[in-house]
């Protein structure tokens, strides 16, 4: 999770002397060579192997060229809408993202609040921790039937599954962060006589922020994992349903394209939370 290397940002010198520009370009070029070229080479090799394996006669899975050929329509027009379930892949992804947004926001709100409670109060920790430790090991999909029974509708059930999947790391990390606030910070607050609200906003939240955000990052990853699985079962709309539907109608190329998008979006969600963490904690959270 912690990246030890990072690309030095190129600073813009105001009256850029030619030497400075050249040095900056050289630095950018080096950054490109060391950070962009290696993954490109590996991806190229993997695609090549995939192409060779997929092109053999009797191969079960299509090679990349065939995938692109089959899914060209989905790639070039992601926003088409022919009614019913026959909509572009972007709409499917957006539907899933919307569910994640609802479920995850709820989990952040409830998770951070419960985490603060458990972190602050030893009594609450003793009372709730055993419950958390057991419930957090329940797999996301095991929650689905019970929530379908409770809500009698697919949409709120999917949101609930996301909520219940992503809340545990948020609670646990928040409470650890609050418990680990150095005694000195508390003493500073006492000497200055900050009141409860000031202590919460000025000391507790910022001090625990690196821990809270690592919980939020794990949580967003889990909620994206959960939504795909949940949508396969509840049907209707969403990228998970799209994949299941493609399997049922043997559109293997569509599945491969969908997986590609799912991966990219999961990656993007993680980076967004990491970016916010970095902004909020001024670089004290691991990025």
Partner 1 sequence: MSNQNYLSISRVDMTFAGAGGAHPVLAGISLDVRRGEYISLIGHSGCGKSTVLSIVAGLLKATSGGVILDGREVNEPGPDRAVVFQNHSLLPWLTVYQNVAIAADKIFKGSRTAAERREWVLHNLAMVNMAHALDRLPSEISGGMKQRVGIARALSMEPKVLLLDEPFGALDALTRARLQDEVVRIQSGLGNTVMMITHDVDEAVLMSDRVVMMTNGPSATIGQVLGIPLPRPRNRIALAEDATYNRCRQEILTFLYEKQRKVEPVGARTSRPMPPMLTPSAIAAMKLA
The binding site for partner 1 (CB under 8 A) comprises 182, 184-185, 187-188, 190-194, 198, 202-203, 206-207, 209, 281-282, 284
Phi-psi category of residue 279: left, alpha or beta, with phi > 0 → left and psi -120 to 50 → alpha: alpha
CB of 206 to partner 1, least distance (A): 4
CA angle 175, 180, 187 (to 5 degrees): 120
CB of 227 to partner 1, least distance (A): 33
CA distance 234 to 252: 21
CB of 21 to partner 1, least distance (A): 28
Burial 2-11 (b: 16+ CB within 10 A, else e): eeeeeeeeee
DSSP-assigned letters across all residues of 165-180: HHHHHHHHHHHHHHHT
CA distance 39 to 103: 34
Backbone angles phi, psi at 81, to 5 degrees: -145, 105
CB of 94 to partner 1, least distance (A): 35
CA distance 164 to 159: 9
Judged by CB, which is closer to partner 1: 65, or 284? 284
**Tokens linked to 127:** 């009372």
DSSP-assigned letters across all residues of 203-266: IIHHHHHHHHHHHHHHHHHHHHHHHHHHHHHH-SSSHHHHHHHHHHTT-HHHHHHHHHHHHHHH
CB of 116 to partner 1, least distance (A): 17
Judged by CB, which is closer to partner 1: 195, or 250? 195
Judged by CB, which is closer to partner 1: 173, or 281? 281
Judged by CB, which is closer to partner 1: 56, or 193? 193
Judged by CB, which is closer to partner 1: 119, or 140? 119
Residues 6+ apart with CB under 8 A from 150: 157, 160
Judged by CB, which is closer to partner 1: 194, or 229? 194
CB of 279 to partner 1, least distance (A): 12
CB of 86 to partner 1, least distance (A): 50
Judged by CB, which is closer to partner 1: 154, or 210? 210
């Amino acid at each position: 999770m912690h990246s030890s290397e990072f690309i030095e940002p190129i600073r813009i010198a105001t009256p850029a002397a030619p030497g400075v520009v050249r040095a900056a370009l050289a630095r950018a070029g080096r950054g490109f060579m060391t950070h962009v070229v290696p993954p490109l080479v590996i991806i190229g090799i993997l695609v090549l192997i995939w192409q060779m394996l997929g092109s053999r006669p009797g191969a079960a899975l299509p090679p990349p060229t065939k995938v692109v050929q089959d899914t060209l329509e989905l790639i070039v027009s992601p926003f088409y809408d022919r009614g019913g379930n026959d909509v572009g892949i972007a709409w499917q992804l957006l539907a899933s993202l919307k569910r994640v947004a609802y479920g995850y926001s709820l989990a952040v709100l409830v998770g951070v609040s419960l985490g603060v409670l458990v972190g602050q109060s030893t009594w609450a920790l003793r009372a709730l921790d055993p419950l958390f430790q057991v419930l957090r090991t329940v797999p996301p999909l095991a929650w689905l039937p019970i929530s379908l029974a409770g809500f009698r509708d697919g949409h709120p059930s999917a949101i609930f599954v996301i909520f219940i999947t992503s809340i545990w790391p948020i609670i646990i990390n928040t409470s650890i962060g609050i418990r680990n606030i150095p005694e000195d910070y508390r003493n500073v607050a006492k000497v200055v006589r900050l009141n409860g609200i000031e202590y919460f906003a000025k000391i507790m939240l910022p001090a625990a922020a690196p821990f809270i955000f690592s919980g939020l990052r794990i949580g967003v990853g889990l909620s994206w994992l959960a939504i795909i699985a949940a949508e396969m079962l509840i049907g209707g709309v969403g990228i998970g349903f799209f994949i299941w539907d493609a399997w049922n109608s043997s559109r293997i190329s569509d599945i491969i394209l969908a997986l590609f998008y799912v991966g990219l979006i999961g990656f993007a969600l993680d980076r967004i939370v990491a970016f916010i963490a970095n902004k909020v904690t001024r670089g004290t959270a691991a990025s």
